[in-house]
Structure 1
């Protein structure tokens, strides 16, 4: 009788047992050959949940025979890292698998990274987040390769399920199970490329099936019922959940009310109200933006109400906000403008702030050359308020343009103001 979950028991023990990921660990890949020849490089494994990051790390450890330690960066502390360092000093080399590596804090890094650089610790990190965005550059620079794993194909999952049913040591080979190839194919196609989910589903399916004369018999009706359930709900933190959030945003952006409500209903059934309300608030500024600037405050009110009410009542203010966003005028100009400014900040030297914009609220500022600022409110321009022609950007960026108006909804009025202010430049007395 096994106590561990089936998905845990069926982890590959060597790289020859890994299913799928031929582009990474196939027999002819450089990584496979390196490990077989006794060299294990530090790696970053990147990909969706359930596609084999942890399994691959365990398989590499089993093949290399290196002392193996597994930590999760979300709960590991400095002492845990220090223990890894001590082990490396005692044994000469340690293979450290660090899950959720994007959560690795600076204190942990300072303790560990010199030993990774010296080679006494081989680091295999795993993350579901884009390592170029979310993993610290200090870690990335010490990992020889960033390996992106792919979602497993139905044929890979079918192979895994068949192997599990035959394996007498770790799997279900000692059980008498009546399940057809067609039923296994349905499981393989219904779990969205997730090996862990495939094995967990098989385990649950067998537990729910009837047993006759010591034989477990899998019925099509039960299989279909369970598959429909996981297809609808998915995993709260899995890839299907993020696909639903993406589909919701793209449906609102495309002004399709019915599709947006359909995906909202699925997300609310999953039960992650926080993720839904957060995404809706982002959408109100990213996709509606300046075309209907009041929508953001109304979506905030709706999401706050939803959080206070909880389900099932939360669906009402959220549906109201979704419909309003679908039918609102849309502009992404503000979102694109801040990204353009950020891109310039990273790609060009930081410009010097003009002297007339610098702080003058202290004695001695004039001696530093600060001053000369002209107060715009002192020169009214029609009903706009005040405006004066003076430079605000650094000299090196004086001709940069980040904001491009979109003539939609309320932003049409703003675009006209923006264009008129641009026409004033170079004029001493604009009217």
Structure 2
């Protein structure tokens, strides 16, 4: 039997739940359909958010021949063959809509070949992908398409969709009563991760478990919802957009000193088992965002990271959480990354000049004849182990790369050196 999610798939734009940023009265998708001017589209977002449903609705409204293919199990030849076999029916249709799921499965050369079938305008491409299209779709296709991002469906919209589905169950079945506990629907909404298809699949399981043949009724209870829900799955692909976004949110929460948010995103990463990405990001934050504000942060973080890698998961979650909370609550400074990036930028963009001759290597015969190191002053031969001399090349001798931030440690070091240099004058 066809899954409930497919049998209840909306056939009207007004029945789609979620995606209120692009679907709804006055929104861009509705306007496109009203004007009947359908561009090539790339629908991008997580599974179960309405991408295929929208493509079906578009094909029906525009009276175009609808071809649906999945790039995972077909190539350009199969796509062209399907289109060629449909062209003979074009006198009955207003063109062809090619719905291509998982477009990222086509390699660059295959995507280039795909251009041929959409160039003349008789084919309207509606491609879908769960990956960021700017990473996986050929630029020439991107330039000929409008990208619409589908977002995970909010809890309230999932519940709305489930209630709509329950009403339609009366049309699909002949049971006298279908009793639904509100807590059951709320539990399904909480555990489907914003995926309407997943929610409907769970609803179908709860429905089947609740069938009582003797009373010719169905009781959809919270207990059944819990029993059939299993483990909540998170959207996470280590090389995909979701993975990078969680890591980005983790890093930015650490930088922003929000320990609660950082722990939340750490939990997502731990659930995904991506311990390597966590440890790399923690070590990076220790230098990039804390740096000299707390110089020992990198040492403490390295110890936590080493412990986590030795323990593995799940025990490794404890030192990872320790490092996360520690880094989030540390004073912040970006003086280290700012200094090195400025220096690297100068190497790429300006003439920095030669190393001062008194700093050049003088540990070989004949070095003094070349003037190498002759005028070098050894700091430890002077009071306070400091003597003023030029270290930067002449072309950039007045450059300032390290600019201390206003935190306890850097203020203390800056004060120390300013006082010492004033004594020397």
Alpha-carbon deviation of 1:295? 4.3
- 2-side partners of 1:96 and 1:311: how far apart? 45
Bigger Cα Rg = 2
Unaligned runs of 5+ in 2: 88-94, 361-374, 380-385
Match of 1:12 in 2: 10
Is 2:136 aligned against 1:141?
Answer: no
> Would the alpha carbon gap of residues 158 and 416 (structure 1) be closer, same or farther in structure 2, given more than 3 Å must change?
same
- 2-side partners of 1:132 and 1:416: how far apart? 48
- 1-side partners of 2:192 and 2:290: how far apart? 34
In the alignment of these two chains, the number of paired residues is: 387
Is 2:80 aligned against 1:81?
Answer: no
Matches within 5 A, 1:47-58: 47-58=45-56
Alpha-carbon deviation of 1:220? 4.0
Alpha-carbon deviation of 1:179? 0.5
Matches within 5 A, 1:360-371: none
Alpha-carbon deviation of 1:80? 0.6
Matches within 5 A, 1:9-158: 9-13=7-11, 15=13, 17-21=15-19, 23-26=21-24, 29=27, 31-32=29-30, 34-35=32-33, 39-64=37-62, 65-72=64-71, 75=72, 80-92=75-87, 94-99=96-101, 105-128=107-130, 137-143=139-145, 145-154=146-155, 156-158=157-159
Alpha-carbon deviation of 1:250? 5.7
> Would the alpha carbon gap of residues 411 and 225 (structure 1) be closer, same or farther in structure 2, given more than 3 Å must change?
farther
> Would the alpha carbon gap of residues 80 and 334 (structure 1) be closer, same or farther in structure 2, given more than 3 Å must change?
farther
Alpha-carbon deviation of 1:377? 2.6
> Would the alpha carbon gap of residues 138 and 302 (structure 1) be closer, same or farther in structure 2, given more than 3 Å must change?
farther
Matches within 5 A, 1:193-208: 193-206=194-207
Contact 1:158 1:184 in 2 (8 A): yes
- 1:373-397 CA deviation, whole Å, 9 max, x = no partner? 656833757569972344479xxxx
Alpha-carbon deviation of 1:235? 1.7
Instruction: Give the TM-score taking structure 1 as reference length.
Output: 0.65
- 1:345-378 CA deviation, whole Å, 9 max, x = no partner? 9xxxx98663x76xxxxxxxxxxxxxx6656833
- 1:100-129 CA deviation, whole Å, 9 max, x = no partner? 556764323322234433324423233556
- 2-side partners of 1:99 and 1:140: how far apart? 16
Unaligned runs of 5+ in 1: 358-371, 424-429
> Would the alpha carbon gap of residues 69 and 263 (structure 1) be closer, same or farther in structure 2, given more than 3 Å must change?
closer
- 1:42-86 CA deviation, whole Å, 9 max, x = no partner? 1233445542223323332344443323335xx57xx71343234
- 2-side partners of 1:186 and 1:380: how far apart? 74
Contact 1:407 1:415 in 2 (8 A): no
- 2-side partners of 1:117 and 1:414: how far apart? 64
Is 2:342 aligned against 1:377?
Answer: no
> Would the alpha carbon gap of residues 304 and 131 (structure 1) be closer, same or farther in structure 2, given more than 3 Å must change?
farther
SS of 1:140's partner is helix
Alpha-carbon deviation of 1:322? 2.6
> Would the alpha carbon gap of residues 293 and 162 (structure 1) be closer, same or farther in structure 2, given more than 3 Å must change?
same
Decide which of 298, 318, 321 is 2:320's aligned counterpart: 318
SS of 1:24's partner is coil
Which stretch of the first structure deviates more once superposed, 185-194 or 119-128? 185-194
